[in-house]
Amino acid sequence: MAFIPRQKLSKKAKRALDLKKRATWDGLNPVTRRTENKKAYDRKRPAGFDEDRPGGPFHI
């Protein structure tokens, strides 16, 4: 097969060439993730005070 410059290829041929060159992430998500700030207030997280007491804060 003779070499044909990319500029002279048809749109379908360019897409086929791009698909062949394109790599996959193989199940890896490329989105950057950050760890949550433990000191910041999060209303979804339950309050951490008095967790060690079985009766709660008002144990008599």
Q: What is the arithmetic mean of pLDDT over 19-41?
A: 86
Tokens of 5: 């410059």
**Which residue would you say has higher pLDDT here, 1 or 22?**
22
What was the pLDDT predicted at 51? Answer: 59
Residue 19 sits at φ, ψ, to 5 deg, of: -65, -35
Question: What's the chain's length in residues?
Answer: 60
- List C-alpha distances in Å: 35 to 24, 39, 41: 26, 12, 14
For the cut 80, the answer to whether the pLDDT of residue 36 exceeds it is yes
**Which residue would you say has higher pLDDT here, 25 or 6?**
6
Distance CA 15, CA 9 (A): 10
Fill in the amino acid letter for 24.
T
What's the whole-model pTM score? 0.40
For the cut 70, the answer to whether the pLDDT of residue 46 exceeds it is yes
What was the pLDDT predicted at 34? Answer: 87
Distance CA 38, CA 60 (A): 32
